[in-house]
Structure 1
């Protein structure tokens, strides 16, 4: 990266920041990040999870639709709420069995989708929109509280009275789900053909068994599987554990061969800007500044330094991410599993720094029509897990994981 860009980013804060843009024309000083896409795999349009904590479902459904496109077939819009409704029922059974001592929230994991399709099949969106409560977009504010209150009452009464659970609680829970999501069809007609949810899933040109979760952690042995210890992993889904270099090699190989990547990450970072649609990991190290510039930086308050680092008004030097840094951040709750998106391509900024292009589910919003750009250090640092087609994993890594 150019030295004058580093110096400018670490100098005293300047008022005003221009909006970032996507163009092949380099930006001038202070114009923000300018991205040039270098590779983008086919993917279905940006969707809107609206007021629901269901990014895990929207992203994984988009990922699977992208996988269908990769085969050369036309991708139907698969029903997110079909998956969510089934996940709520499966989660409810485990929540009650565990006396309420697992996480009950709107969040989930990508494996909830793949495992849910294996268990319950899937249907097109038009067959099951799942919006049966007066809005045309998902809104779970009431629903989430109603479901939890119901289950907590079932558990509390059983614990307090020491009596068996009634035979009605599951039917009652189903009735609530029916009212909010709609009654689930046993059969349906799509494009002139009759299906069940299972037969429709089987008709798709992808094999749901091909998708595997991958992470990179040192508190479990590499090249083994373990249950990822994050609150939203209520299903206790497992990930294949690889080194950081191997994880990034999987991402690179997948994109190079036109595979999308389901991406679970942390967007609670100061280096993530929702409005500028960018994620970076600025480096506070002032090595390389000359004496006067280092002195200026040293005279700034902590608040001024932070403001300078996170203005997003031009490319900045970023941290070099290590395996140890990843683990420390995870161990200390600095990296949390709070959002799911789809990595769909590669790009670079005007200084030549590598970025990934990412599909989000927060509607078609500026500056990039619902897409976001995350630096390579951000992905290396803040990835909690990915899901990929096992055939997208380089052969040497696949052999280490004993994946056929």
Structure 2
């Protein structure tokens, strides 16, 4: 997700350079709250699929790894396996190596920073395997939580120097220098390790313990400027690998999620969280019927003071928001269930990676309208898809 492009001024996400600091985002979103919100919302769980513990990505733009790693852990549970607390920073480090190679290959015409996409986790799992968190915490420089700003600045400076090519011809040494810098901050990747008394490499651990098939996972979005049910390149800055996704009609987005949840599958979700109607503290996100810009002071104060009417989301409304930068590719989370409020409106239960410091201990309730409006991508097991989507896409 496009964390590295986000700074918050006057509540809006704007393009920026450098690594995204999660604490800055959380502090900004603290303005989006209502003191009595939890008392005014009455949620009843309809579906709540087993998932692993809430994590905290710290000051890093690694949400894409945390959300999709959490998704893979739930996939292990769905497959009847005991889930492993997998290392998000191992996957991120592998992606940073691949991104650096692409950056140099593209002569610097590629975004840098911590950001990534849901499919990056699947791609790294396929190529590099996986390791338990206990074997690779990524905390190699004296902190007890991620703080990757210095590392990002160091690696960006190094790669830019490589691309400037001061020797007139690129040497083969740059990659070793780059990976050594990653190692100094995140730690060297173990060639092998012991887990439950048995020795593994990252590849054999993925095959024998995690046991998931990377070919089982598919990614989707929904835009009006591409043919439906065909693949297209997801045009967001952090799609550094230029992966393609299937294009769904807007109504299919929630249909696909609902079908997955009803069949015991969770969904990795990429979205925009820069909206004033997204409150991390209150754990609620929706699309107000009255735009924030024209709300009265009292309406703004009561934004999360219980359920509110929502705007109708059409394909045209959604596309316009993406085209004019109102929707940006900000954040990755994990959809793990479905709930209803006291009026019967449905909300997705969403697992975040910002710790447990909100009203719902790390989870949020997100309306279907918000998901229809602000989703940039979905990733899920193809076994969770409705039959008609499989037929239309040819998956």
Match for residue 333 of structure 2 among 325, 335, 341: 341
User: Are residues 1:354 and 2:346 paired?
Assistant: yes
2:179 alignment partner in structure 1: 174
2:251 alignment partner in structure 1: 245
1:268 alignment partner in structure 2: 274
1:6 alignment partner in structure 2: none
CA distance in 1, matches of 2:98, 2:138: 17
Contact 1:282–1:309 under 8 Å retained in 2: no
Please say which structure displays the higher CA radius of gyration: 1
- Residue ranges of structure 2 left out of the alignment (5+ in a row): 1-32
Indicate how the Cα distance of structure 1 residues 327 and 216 shifts in structure 2: closer, same or farther if over 3 A, else same: same
Deviations for 1:247-295, whole angstroms, at most 9, x for unmatched residues? 211100000011000000000011111211111101129xxxxxxxxxx
1:323 alignment partner in structure 2: 315
The offset of 1:303, in angstroms, is 5.2
The offset of 1:366, in angstroms, is 2.6
SS in 1 for 2:378: strand
Contact 2:339–2:348 under 8 Å retained in 1: yes
Match for residue 205 of structure 1 among 193, 196, 211: 211
Contact 2:61–2:114 under 8 Å retained in 1: yes
1:148 alignment partner in structure 2: 156
SS in 1 for 2:182: helix
Contact 1:19–1:367 under 8 Å retained in 2: no
Alignment of 1:185-264 (within 5 A): 185-203=190-208, 204-264=210-270
SS in 1 for 2:43: strand
SS in 2 for 1:264: strand
SS in 2 for 1:373: strand
TM-score by length of 2: 0.88
CA distance in 1, matches of 2:317, 2:297: 22
CA distance in 2, matches of 1:302, 1:79: 44
1:295 alignment partner in structure 2: none
SS in 1 for 2:204: helix
Structural RMSD (CA) = 1.7
Contact 1:266–1:335 under 8 Å retained in 2: yes
SS in 2 for 1:356: strand
The offset of 1:206, in angstroms, is 2.1
SS in 2 for 1:176: helix
The offset of 1:34, in angstroms, is 2.4
Contact 1:17–1:32 under 8 Å retained in 2: no
Deviations for 1:75-115, whole angstroms, at most 9, x for unmatched residues? 00111111111111100011111111111121110111100
CA distance in 1, matches of 2:254, 2:105: 38
Deviations for 1:111-137, whole angstroms, at most 9, x for unmatched residues? 111001111111111111111011111
- Residue ranges of structure 1 left out of the alignment (5+ in a row): 1-15, 22-30, 286-300
CA distance in 1, matches of 2:140, 2:327: 36
CA distance in 1, matches of 2:256, 2:313: 17
Deviations for 1:159-194, whole angstroms, at most 9, x for unmatched residues? x55x11122111111111111111111111111111
Q: How many residues matched?
A: 361
SS in 2 for 1:42: coil
1:70 alignment partner in structure 2: 78
User: Are residues 1:124 and 2:128 paired?
Assistant: no
SS in 2 for 1:34: coil
Deviations for 1:330-364, whole angstroms, at most 9, x for unmatched residues? 11111111000000011111222111110000001
The offset of 1:72, in angstroms, is 1.9
Contact 1:264–1:340 under 8 Å retained in 2: yes
Match for residue 110 of structure 1 among 118, 136, 142: 118
SS in 2 for 1:39: strand
Contact 2:34–2:301 under 8 Å retained in 1: no
The offset of 1:311, in angstroms, is 2.1
CA distance in 1, matches of 2:387, 2:256: 10
1:26 alignment partner in structure 2: none
Contact 1:20–1:34 under 8 Å retained in 2: no
CA distance in 2, matches of 1:380, 1:199: 39
SS in 2 for 1:239: strand
